[in-house]
Structure 1
Amino acid sequence: MYIGLDLGTSGVRALLVRADGVPVGSQEAHYQAAHPAPGWSEQDPATWVAGCRSALAALRAEHPVEYGAVRGIAVAGHMHGAVLLDADGTVLRPCILWNDTRSHVQAARLDAADGVRDISGNIVFPGFTAPKLAWVAEHEPDIFSRVAKVVLPKDYVSLWMSGICASEMSDAAGTAWLDVGGRDWSDRLLDAGGMRRDQMPALHEGTGVIGLLRDALADEMGLPRGVQVVAGAADNAAAACGVGALKEGDGFVSLGTSGVVLAARDGFAPDAGSAVHTFCHAVPGRWYQMGVTLACTDSLNWLARITGQGPAALTAALGDAVRAPGSLRFYPYLSGERTPHNDAQVRGGFSGLDIGHDAPDMTRAVLEGVSFAQADSLLALRATGADPQTLLAIGGGAASLHWVQMLANTLNLPLEIPARGEFGAALGAARLAICGVTGANPSEVMTKPEIARTVYPDAALVGAFAEGHQAYRAAYPMLKALQ
């Protein structure tokens, strides 16, 4: 048996699977992030540990026999977070999360430094880890002077489990400290950010074994002694492992809190200026690229909050038929935007709002606006040479067939919807654990899910959605001018 942990910003999920990858059971625990100032997003790493304890305890209670046969465990987690540890391993301040934009000044400065984009393969976004440490150095110098190690969120959980400070390529690629093509820390990038190699965790591939679960923790949690802790993956790389997106041409579109269009790549082919992320994959010798929309289902959740209706009720009110975009348009820049703008300051909203518009009209505009943002990401990916011919549709928003059809029309690509069952980051982490412990070939373990249905673009509407997308793109300079 194997366990995959999916560490998110709102909770953690523990998935128990058999050696053949078939899920046995799962449990969740939830927590919240803090926002002490505009643009800030933080979390106490102790909440992650508490969440893992709770989810694992519930899994043990539900499946005691299988739980007692676990051989390996791996963690997938949200990227870019900065957990600062002193020489004793004590957390120095709350973790600065991926969606925190306070370090936009430091990010711009690092991004302009000679060679940074060439080595990292990426723009230095405000959400990345390196500018966060530069911000701490400038605004919290006493804390910065005590930093002995910097670890990423999922790696803090692995440290808690194993007592070993380690990371892996897919997560490290989002720090702006990694030579993404060379798959190693870069002394040039570290120096540009005012950091040292000895402050970095040891690097593994995602299938690498970090060490063993601490005996005391194994006894406390009711796990066998000798469970191997495998390096795991960043959340999107783990999701790619969960849906079998490993090789050139494989990819998915995720309608989650943030939106992602991801394409697996057989080689390192960065185009930093496109604002596409080029990261190491969690499996050796492979990379992936993705465009990111910061507020995807978050945009729908925002509308639900201000209308007093749930997201499912809002989308249900649209009915089954998808129609051409209207004059009401929504720009999902509620937290700034990554791809293709790299703009932490721009803000979104509605245009063309009329006294005759109602909640369904606004809902439709929100879904269209997010779909147009995903189309921006696809265009940016294609500029790097990635050219997926079909994509898996995953994430909570993919439960809305209306939204998936709208997205298929916008991207002008068939979208495959997986059958009900287990896939995603928790399964990807469990699959990495299987490969790490058994030495199995990832391509044999990380297979694609069964497809329940394929949603094809509606040829009668593709042109109208292309026109809507062009109008959406043309509005960005005007929104930028309003900052």
Structure 2
Amino acid sequence: MFLGIDVGTSAVKALLIDEKSITVAEADVPLTLSNPKPFWSEQHPDDWWTATCTAMDQLKASNSSALAAVRAIGLSGQMHGAVILGADDKPLRPAILWNDGRATAECAELQAALPDLPIRAGVVAMPGMTAPKLIWLRKHEPETFAKIKTVLLPKDYIRFCLTGEKVTEMSDAAGTLWLDEESRSWNYDAIAATGMDIAQLPHLVEGSDATGHLCGELAVRWDMKPTVVVAGGGGDAATGGIGVGAVSHGDGFISLGTSSQIFVASDRYRPKPEELLHSFAHAIPQHWFQMAVLLNGASCLLWAANLLGEKDIGALLNRTEAADKAPSDVLFLPYLNGERTPHNDPYARGVFFGLGSDTGRETLVQSVLEGVGFALSDGQSRLHAAGTRCELPGVIGGGARSRYWIQMIADIMGSPLARYEGAAKGPAFGAARLGRLALDHETVEDVCLKPAIQEVVMPDMARHDAYQPRFAKFKRIYSALREEFHPA
């Protein structure tokens, strides 16, 4: 039995799988975000740990025998978050998250100091990354900065709580801007440029490496063996790839989670920072990936449903699909939390365009779904410009439950998409697989199998053609508003 724990933005998920990669049990514990100022996004690390313990307690209550049989744990989590620990190894402040936009000026400073950073780090400096946040802390919270003993990433804080070890792995370190992606080692120049020292960063391993064992008191609490191995794990994008077997060159997927990504695995390091792509180390040795990163995905649908007072999203989608006779005349810019690919604009915000007195709920929801689809198509164009293609990406994440939305995205992109069996399992499933690999008697090819394809969704090319003028207008609206988004 193997356990995956994913420290997401909206929830902590714990998932048990057996030797046949069949899900035996799972538990989800919701999390809340804090936005103390405009463009700020924070969570307290202790909330992640409390949610993790709650999820584990739930698994013990419902599946104690399966939990007791666990041999290895893999970890996954939201990337880029800055977890700041003091001398007592306690958090000094809430973690600054991936969708936080405060460190824009610090990105410019970092790139000016290190012109070769985008090539070495696989991406241009963006406010959501970890390193600019530390420069911001040094400037705006110097007393806190002076007390920093260690900086960890979100999943690695959970590792520390589970094992007492301060370790990270390549795919999550990739999102800090401190990793030299090609050599898979810390970039001392980048660390120094943020005023940090290598001693303040965790030890680097591969995601399939063992990093320690479950602490004795936790093993007792959950009736688990103290010999349980905790693997390096991975950032949520990489573990999503592990979960769907995207490990060979050209394998890829689209994630429709809180944020959204188009992910394509690579057999070597291929930086393309000029396309605003992320070229990162994968969670398995000697593998990399390219990724178009969107800060807004299925979260846009949840936002719209909450705004409209709709509690049953499935029913809302069914009504929207029934009313959908043609591409919507209402356009939605889905940039509720800013955007990375292809804009690198933390100030961008959501916009409805073309509202009329006859605009109803279903029209608004259709425009939201289409807006995310247009943003994905925008990201896909950057991958194509970089010479990167995936012939049949699968769709994973919570949004993958909606066949209607997948068909819409296929129509907008003009390319087929695969619906996988169990596609909503997400990063926790990949993390469990990395736990299995850490036991060191199986190969990546043995463990990281692709899921069965439930259906290949072919694009309706007539609908694709109808979307093109709307897609062009979508891009023009953003271009016209870009300067208006910026704070005065």
TM category (shorter chain) comes to: over 0.9
Aligned sequence identity (%): 40
Cα distance per residue 1:171-224 (max 9 Å; x no partner) = 000001110111110011112222111111000000011111122221222211
Go from structure 1 to structure 2 and tell me whether the alpha carbon gap of 1:451 and 1:79 turns closer, same or farther (over 3 Å shift). Answer: same
Residues 335 and 347 in structure 1, CA contact (< 8 A), matched pair in contact too? yes
Q: CA 1:182–1:415 in 2, change beyond 3 Å: closer, same or farther?
A: same
Q: Name 1:404's counterpart in structure 2.
A: 406
Which amino acid in the other structure matches residue 98 of structure 1?
W
In structure 2, distance between residues paired with 1:436 and 1:205: 10
CA contact under 8 A between 1:279 and 1:287: conserved in structure 2? yes
Determine the structure 2 residue equivalent to 1:442. Answer: 444
* SS across alignment from 2:226: coil
- 1:263 is paired with a residue whose SS is strand
CA–CA distance in structure 1, aligned partners of residues 24 and 210 of structure 2: 23
d(CA) in 2 for partners of 1:216 and 1:318? 51
- State the shift of 1:64 in Å: 1.9
- 2:477 corresponding residue in structure 1: 475
* Secondary structure of 1:24 counterpart: strand
> Once the 2 structures are TM-superposed, how far is the Cα of residue 320 of structure 1 from its aligned partner?
4.8
**TM-score (ref. length: structure 2):** 0.96
Q: Shift in Å at residue 294 of structure 1?
A: 1.4
- In the superposition, relative to structure 1, how do residues 20 and 315 fare at CA in structure 2: closer, same or farther (>3 Å)? closer
Matched, 1:347 2:349: yes
Provide Cα deviations, 1:400-453, integer angstroms capped at 9, x if missing partner.
Answer: 222111100111111111124774211101100001113311121011111111
Instruction: Find the residue that maps to 1:3 and give its secondary structure.
Output: strand
Residue of structure 2 in register with 1:300 after alignment: 301
Q: Residues of 1 paired with 2:397 and 2:466: CA distance?
A: 26
**Residue number in structure 2 paired with 1:250:** 251
Match for 2:354: what amino acid? G
Name the residue aligned to 2:367. 365
Tell me if structure 1 keeps the 8 A contact 2:30–2:51. yes
* 1:171 corresponding residue in structure 2: 172
Counterpart CA distance in 2 for 1:196 and 1:384 is 34
Q: Which residue of 2 aligns with 1:101?
A: 101
Separation in 2 of the partners of 1:155 and 1:411? 36
What corresponds to 1:143 in structure 2?
Answer: 144
Q: How does 1:195-344 map to 2 (within 5 A)?
A: 195-310=196-311, 311-320=313-322, 323-344=325-346
Q: 2:9, 2:258 within 8 Å by CA — same for their partners in 1? A: no
Q: 1:422 to 1:475 in 2, by over 3 A?
A: closer
Tell me how far apart the structure 2 counterparts of residues 356 and 322 of structure 1 sit (CA, whole Å).
15
Which stretch shows the higher mean deviation, 336-345 or 99-108?
Answer: 99-108
Q: Is the 8 A contact 2:397 2:424 kept in 1?
A: no
Give the aligned partner of residue 397 of structure 2.
395
Unaligned regions of 5+ residues in structure 1, if any? Answer: none
**Runs of 4+ displaced beyond 6 Å:** none
Matches of 2:116 and 2:104, distance apart in 1: 19
CA contact (8 A) 2:324 2:366 kept: no
Q: 1:81: how far off?
A: 0.4
Q: Give the aligned residue type for 1:232.
A: G
1: CA distance between counterparts of 2:20 and 2:361?
47
Q: Is contact 1:253–1:391 with CA below 8 Å preserved after alignment?
A: yes
Q: One-letter code of the match for 2:412?
A: T
Secondary structure of 1:417's match? strand
1:213-268 CA-partner distances (Å, limit 9, x unpaired): 12222122221111111110001100110011111221111111111111111111
Q: Does 1:189 align with 2:204?
A: no
Give the match's secondary structure for 1:173: helix
Secondary structure in structure 1 of the residue aligned to 2:230 = strand
Alpha-carbon distance in 2 for matches of 1:455, 1:386: 21
What is the CA deviation profile of residues 97-123 of structure 1, one whole-angstrom value per residue up to 9, with x for unaligned ones?
111111111122213332211211211
1:34 aligns with 2:34: yes
Paired residues of 2:39 and 2:347 also in contact (CA < 8 A): no
Cα distance in 1 for partners of 2:423, 2:407 equals: 21
Provide the C-alpha distance between the structure 2 equivalents of 1:36 and 1:422, rounded to a whole number of angstroms. 31
Residues in 1 aligned to 2:328 and 2:95: alpha-carbon distance in whole angstroms: 42
C-alpha contact (below 8 Å) 2:80/2:130 kept by paired residues: yes
Distance between the aligned counterparts of 2:376 and 2:358, measured in 1?
28
Distance, in Å, in 1 between the alignment partners of 2:363 and 2:17 is 43
Q: Separation in 1 of the partners of 2:277 and 2:459?
A: 25
Q: CA deviation at 1:345?
A: 1.1
CA gap 1:317/1:436 in 2 versus in 1, 3 angstroms: same
Tell me, in whole angstroms, the C-alpha distance in 1 between the residues paired with 2:356 and 2:372: 20
State the match for 1:82 in structure 2.
82
SS at structure 2 position matched to 1:130: helix
- In structure 1, the residue matched to 2:127 is 126
SS in 2 for 1:317: helix
Output the amino acid matched with 1:189.
A
Q: Distance in 1 between matches of 2:27 and 2:350?
A: 36
CA RMSD of aligned residues (A): 1.5
Instruction: Give the secondary-structure state (helix, strand or coil) at the position aligned to 1:182.
Output: coil
C-alpha displacement at 1:316, in angstroms?
1.6
Q: Are the aligned partners of 2:328 and 2:366 in contact in 1 as well (CA < 8 Å)?
A: no
Point out where structure 2 has 5 or more consecutive residues left out of the alignment: none
CA contact (8 A) 1:249 1:263 kept: yes
Residue 383 of structure 1 is matched in structure 2 by 385
Inter-CA distance 401–219: structure 2 relative to 1 (3 Å threshold) = same
